[in-house]
């Protein structure tokens, strides 16, 4: 058994701390055979420490893109380098490009931690991912602490990659849908029209989708009929936003629970941080929230 493999009952979780604190695999055993619940990380991606090839990676100290690569907050401006070529913009923060430290808590639990304070970077922080595996579910608790000298806006989330079978279906409820502008930067939230809703079980769209659903009710379900399994995601209220990414050319899709709306830092004005899900932390303050991934068998 790999040293980074957690096991509980029929569930298995493989971690890849050096690849941005990623999950390499999450699977369940069905009648003795392994069934992947997330896209498994290849050996090549693990060797490259490449989180883009992971089953899931963390987004911290914020999620999604910083438009114009510049953050303005309370009269101060902060610049960010583009970090995901060939994209123009900084995306998903710095945690996913860092090596994390693993602390084992037994066969079924582990903590991945990251202390990041680099001269010239706007953020200094400590982040944690606490993984607890039971025979029924994976519980992931994410936390971030402001270790810098100034009050700053924070956010975090998880970026899982799921296998796109032809018959995969989703179900979740939310209040708003963010339109996507140039370079994948969100523009405006609108009421969700029926054709963009997943309130009832629906197939993935045939076209491009890279949009945030705000006012997410905290529950999302996926089912793969041909595999005979499904997955329920239940998140704390802190995760009020759910990002959906899918491309007709890709054999995967992403469904990402996160604390703030996509491109929230581009829309911040005084007093609107909470509405967007932005978490403002003074030096030494900390925020955390849990999400649970519960697989189930289909009849």
Helix (H, G, I), strand (E, B) or coil at 105: coil
| 42-85 pLDDT, tens digit each | 999 999 999 999 999 999 999 999 888 999 998 999 999 999 99
Note the pTM of the prediction, 2 decimals.
0.96
58 sits in which H/E element? strand 56-59
Per the DSSP assignment, residues forming a β-bridge with 25 are 14
Residue 91 φ/ψ, nearest 5 degrees:
-140, 135
Total domains present in the chain? 1
Predicted confidence at residue 1, as pLDDT, reads: 37
Instruction: Quote the pLDDT of residue 273.
Output: 85
Would you state the structure tokens that stand for residue 88, as one six-digit string?
A: 């123009």
- C-alpha to C-alpha distances, 99 to 22, 50, 106, 146, nearest whole angstrom: 9, 11, 21, 19
> Which residues in 173-240 belong to E strands, given as ranges?
176-180, 186-191, 202-203, 209-214, 219-224, 229-235
Please report, for the domain that includes residue 195, its CATH number: 2.70.98.10
Give me the pLDDT at residue 270, please.
59
Q: What SS3 class is residue 113?
A: strand
Domain range holding 41? Answer: 5-297
Give how far Cα 231 sits from Cα of 36, 140, 168, 170, Å: 11, 15, 11, 10
Percent of the residues in the chain that have a pLDDT greater than 70, as a whole number = 98
d(CA 8, CA 140): 15
Closest CA to 8 of 171, 135, 151: 135
């Amino acid at each position: 058994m790999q040293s980074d493999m957690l096991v509980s009952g029929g569930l298995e979780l493989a971690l890849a701390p050096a690849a941005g604190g990623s999950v390499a695999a999450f699977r369940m055993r069905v009648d003795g055979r392994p069934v992947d619940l997330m896209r498994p990380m290849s050996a090549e991606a693990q060797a490259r420490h490449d989180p883009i090839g992971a089953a899931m990676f963390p987004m911290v100290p914020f999620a999604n893109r910083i438009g114009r690569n510049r953050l303005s907050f309370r009269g101060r401006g902060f610049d960010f380098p583009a970090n995901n070529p060939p994209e123009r913009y900084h995306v998903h923060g710095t945690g996913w490009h860092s090596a994390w430290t693993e602390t084992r808590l037994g066969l079924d639990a582990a903590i991945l931690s990251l202390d990041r304070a680099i001269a010239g970077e706007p953020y200094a922080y400590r982040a944690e991912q606490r993984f607890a595996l039971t025979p029924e579910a994976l519980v992931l608790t994410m936390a971030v602490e402001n270790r810098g000298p100034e009050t700053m806006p924070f956010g975090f989330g998880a970026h899982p990659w799921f296998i796109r079978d032809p018959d995969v279906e989703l179900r979740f409820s939310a209040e708003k849908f963010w339109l996507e502008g140039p370079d994948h930067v969100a523009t405006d939230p609108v009421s969700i029209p029926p054709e963009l809703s997943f309130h009832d079980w629906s197939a993935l769209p045939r076209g491009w989708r890279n949009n945030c659903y705000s006012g997410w009710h905290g529950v999302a379900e996926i089912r793969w009929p041909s595999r005979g399994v499904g997955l329920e995601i239940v998140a704390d209220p802190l995760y009020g936003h759910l990002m959906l990414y899918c491309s007709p050319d890709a054999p995967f899709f992403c469904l990402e629970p996160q604390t703030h709306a996509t491109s929230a830092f581009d829309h911040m004005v005084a007093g609107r941080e909470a509405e967007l899900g932005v978490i403002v932390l003074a030096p030494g303050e900390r925020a955390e929230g849990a999400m649970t991934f519960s697989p189930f068998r289909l009849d």
